[in-house]
Amino acid sequence: MNEFELIQAYFSTLASKGAGRGVELGIGDDCAILNPPANSQLVVSTDTLIAGVHFPESTSAFDIGFKSLAVNLSDLAAMGAYPLWFTLCITLPDRDTQWIEGFCNGMAKLVQQTGIQLVGGDTTKGPLSISVHVTGDVPIGKALTRHGASVGDDVYVSGVIGHGAAGLNMALSGFDAPDDKRFDRCFLDALQRFNQPQPRLGLGLALRGIATSCIDISDGLLADLEHVLCASKAGASLKLELVPLSDAVMKSDLFGDKSEREKRLLACNAGDDYELCFTVPESKRESVEALAVEQSVILTRIGKVVEGASIVEEGGCVELVSLGYQHF
Amino acid sequence: MNEFELIQAYFSTLASKGAGRGVELGIGDDCAILNPPANSQLVVSTDTLIAGVHFPESTSAFDIGFKSLAVNLSDLAAMGAYPLWFTLCITLPDRDTQWIEGFCNGMAKLVQQTGIQLVGGDTTKGPLSISVHVTGDVPIGKALTRHGASVGDDVYVSGVIGHGAAGLNMALSGFDAPDDKRFDRCFLDALQRFNQPQPRLGLGLALRGIATSCIDISDGLLADLEHVLCASKAGASLKLELVPLSDAVMKSDLFGDKSEREKRLLACNAGDDYELCFTVPESKRESVEALAVEQSVILTRIGKVVEGASIVEEGGCVELVSLGYQHF
C-alpha cells in the first residue's frame, strides 16, 4: 500500500462523503478549494503533537488521533469559532495499517461530533509526529481574543482543573483500570479526559458577546491567564481556593505527600486541561449563570482583573508564578 | 530563550509589520483572525519536510527554510492561486539560534518575493521536521485543477526537467562549487534550483482561463502527469525527446554510463523540479506562446491528451511507467 492508497483507504474517511460546508474540492488535488462563509472572518490555528512530549509513548492510536484534533479544536473554541475544515500532516515510522486505522477512528469520533472536515494533508515517513491545522469561522468582529480583558472584569474558568495533570500521572504510572487496586471512578475520568480532551466549542460560541477575553488552558491555568493579562495589559487577583479542582488530584497520592494548597498550585501550573479561562464584566454575571445551565458546564468565578501585570492572591500579596511547559 | 521569546525574536519577522492582506489578527493569540478576499475562493495545501527524506542532512538552514515554503507555494501556483497566508509547525532538536536565524532568513527571502504572511505556528522539540500550511485565493470558479484535461488537449511543461535529480546527486556527492574539479555553471544552477526551487506563481496566475488542468512537478513529471490523467479520466501520448532536460543531467556523469534516453527517463521519473505540467486546448497555442514571452519562461509542448488511462510514447506503443517517490 503506497501513500496514495493509504490516504484513500483510511484518511479519506475523515472527509465527508458529500461536500462539507463550503468545500468545493476536498482532498486529492494540489490544494483544496474552499468557499469562505459570507459575512464571516476565518480563524486558523495549528498544533504539533510529538510522541513522548505531548502524549506518553504508551498512548493508544485512537487516543492520539482524538487528541491531535481535540487540542486544535480547543483553540477554535477559545476564539468562539465554529469549526469548518482541517488538514493533517502525519509522519509515521512505518506502515502499520492497524495503528493508522485506530488513529483515524479516534479522529473520526471528533469529526462526527463537530462536523469539521478533512480537506488535505501529507503523509511522510519518520519519527511519529502529527501536525493539524484547523480553520473555523466567526461573524465579523465577534471573535474572542486574549486582549480584551478590562480592570474590574471577573475571571472565570470552565469545568475543573487538574484532569490533565492527574491523567498524565495515571498514564505514566501504568494505571490499569478497572483492575488497578488504586481504582476510583475519578481516576478513570481524569485519564479519559487526559486522553480524549473535549474541546469546549459550544461554550466558546455561547461566550461571544459576553466574554471580553478568552483562552484555552493548554499550558496551565496560571500560564494561560498570564497570556491574557499580558495581551490585555492588566493583572489579576485570584482566590486560589475557589479554583475547581479535579477529584483525581485531591484523592491521588501520585503527587506524593502534598498539602491541598500544594496540589492546587500544582494543578494550576499543569497543562492539558483544555478548559476555557475567560473574563466577563460584572454586569453580565447573570448571563454567565444562565449560560452554565444552558451548556451544562460548571463555570466558576475565581477572581478579578486588576491593575498591574501579574497574578496575585486575593487578600494576600503573594505573587502566583506560572510554570507553564517550556519546550526548550 | 523560551518558546515565546524564540517566536518573538525570529519567527515574528516573517509576519509583516503592518497588517498584511486580510490579516485582522496575526500570530500571538490562540488563532489568527483573517478576512477572506471578496468574490474569491480559498485554496489550501500543506506539506511536511523531513531531514534525510526531503532534503539531505547537509542542507543549510537557509535552504531548508526557503524550500519548506517554496514547495507549498508551488502547490498554490499549480492552482493558479495568489498567496495570502501561511502557518509553520517546526520541530527542532535543540535551541540553536544560529540555525533558526538562517532558517528564518531563507523563508524571509520568499516572503519578501511573494508577499505571503506568517499568521501562526507551533514550535516543538524533537527530530527536525517542518510542516507548512499555505492559503491562497482565486476568483470564484477560476482555480486550475487536475481534473479538467480533455482528449485532444496539448500537454506542456514549464522550464526544464531534471534540476531536482541533478541537484540531489550533486548535494549527496558533496559537490563543492566553485572549487570542485567537476565545476560547470550548469551544475551550480541545478544545485541552486534543487535547494531553492522557485515556485511558478506568476505562470500559475497567467494560466487561469487558458489551461484546462495543471499540477506542479514534485513527484516526477510522469508520476504527476499520471495524477492529472487519473483525475481527468484520460491518457497521454508523449514525445519523450521533446521533454526539455536540465543541462546538468545531460553533462553529469553522476548517473553513471547512461544513454541520453536513459537519462531522459531518469529525469522524468525524478521529483523536486517544481515546474508546472499543464494541458491546453489546441485552439489556445498562441496564448501559450504569448504567455511564455510575457512570463520569460520556457513552455514546451511535449505531447497530447488521448483516450486511455496511461502514458504512451508517441509513434510507439511503449507505456511509460512512472516511478514516483514512495514513502512506504
- The listed range with the strongest mean pLDDT (A184-193, A265-274, B166-175) is A265-274
Looking at the domain assignment, is residue B74 inside a domain?
Answer: yes
Looking at the domain assignment, is residue A323 inside a domain?
Answer: no
B117/B213 same-domain check:
no
A216/A252 same-domain check:
yes
Looking at the domain assignment, is residue B318 inside a domain?
Answer: no
* CATH, residue B121: 3.30.1330.10
Looking at the domain assignment, is residue A322 inside a domain?
Answer: no
**Alpha-carbon gap: A235 to the closest alpha carbon of chain B (Å):** 18
Q: What is the pLDDT of residue A49?
A: 96
- Counting every residue, how long is chain B? 328
Looking at the domain assignment, is residue A38 inside a domain?
Answer: yes
Looking at the domain assignment, is residue B148 inside a domain?
Answer: no
A65/A208 same-domain check:
no
What confidence category does residue B110 fall into, taking pLDDT thresholds of 50, 70 and 90? Answer: very high
Nearest-CB residue to B30 (from A2, A45, A48): A45
**CB atoms A3 and B45 under 8 Å:** no
Scan for cell 500544582, then name that residue. Answer: A266
Looking at the domain assignment, is residue A324 inside a domain?
Answer: no
B179/B309 same-domain check:
yes
Nearest-CB residue to B328 (from A2, A35, A46): A2
ipTM confidence score? 0.91
B108/B180 same-domain check:
no
B240/B134 same-domain check:
no
* CATH, residue A290: 3.90.650.10
Give the residue-averaged pLDDT of B188-217: 95
Report the range of poorest mean pLDDT among A68-72, A304-308, B50-54, B223-227. B50-54
Q: Is B27 left (phi over 0), alpha (psi -120 to 50) or beta?
A: beta
> What is the percentage of chain B residues whose pLDDT exceeds 90?
67
Give the residue-averaged pLDDT of B199-210: 98
Query: Is the Cβ of B233 closer than 8 Å to some Cβ of chain A?
Result: no
> Are residues A123 and B129 in contact, defined by beta-carbon separation less than 8 angstroms?
no
Cell numbers at residue A214, please? 478568552
Residues A309-322 pLDDT 10s: 999 988 766 677 76
Query: Is the Cβ of A57 closer than 8 Å to some Cβ of chain B?
Result: no
Residues A116-158 pLDDT 10s: 999 999 999 999 999 999 999 999 999 999 999 999 999 999 9
Give the residue-averaged pLDDT of A43-61: 93
Instruction: Provide the chain B residues 141-180 that lie in CB contact (below 8 A) with chain A.
Output: 143, 145-147
Q: What is the pLDDT of residue B300?
A: 98
Q: Flag whether pLDDT at B327 surpasses 60.
A: no
Q: Flag whether pLDDT at B17 surpasses 60.
A: no
More confident residue, B212 or B254: B212
Residue of A nearest to B87 (CA): A46
Q: What is the pLDDT of residue B181?
A: 67
Which of B139, B166, B185 is the C-terminal boundary of a domain?
B139
A191/A274 same-domain check:
yes
What confidence category does residue A29 fall into, taking pLDDT thresholds of 50, 70 and 90? Answer: confident
> What is the percentage of chain A residues whose pLDDT exceeds 90?
68
CA–CA separation, B277 and B149 (whole Å): 11
B197/B246 same-domain check:
yes
Which of B139, B167, B189 is the C-terminal boundary of a domain?
B139
A55/A166 same-domain check:
no
B245/B122 same-domain check:
no
pTM: 0.93
If you ran DSSP here, which 8-state letter would residue B241 be given? G
Domain that holds residue A174: 154-313
Q: Flag whether pLDDT at B260 surpasses 90.
A: no
Which of A104, A139, A174 is the C-terminal boundary of a domain?
A139
Query: Is the Cβ of A327 closer than 8 Å to some Cβ of chain B?
Result: yes
CA–CA separation, A286 and A301 (whole Å): 12
- Asked whether the bond before A178 is cis by omega within 30 degrees of 0, the reply is yes
Query: Is the Cβ of B124 closer than 8 Å to some Cβ of chain A?
Result: yes
* Number of domains observed in the structure of chain B: 2
**Alpha-carbon gap: B120 to the closest alpha carbon of chain A (Å):** 6
What confidence category does residue B206 fall into, taking pLDDT thresholds of 50, 70 and 90? Answer: very high
Looking at the domain assignment, is residue A283 inside a domain?
Answer: yes
Burial (CB count <10 Å: 0-12, 13-18, 19+), residue B258: middle
B125/B95 same-domain check:
yes
For residue A124, which residues of chain B lie inside 8 Å, CB to CB? 48, 50, 53-54, 327
A47/A78 same-domain check:
yes
Q: Classify the C-alpha dihedral A273-A276-A282-A284 as positive or negative.
A: negative
Give the residue-averaged pLDDT of B191-198: 93
What confidence category does residue B75 fall into, taking pLDDT thresholds of 50, 70 and 90? Answer: very high
Kind and range of the H or E element at B151? none
Residue of A nearest to B52 (CA): A126
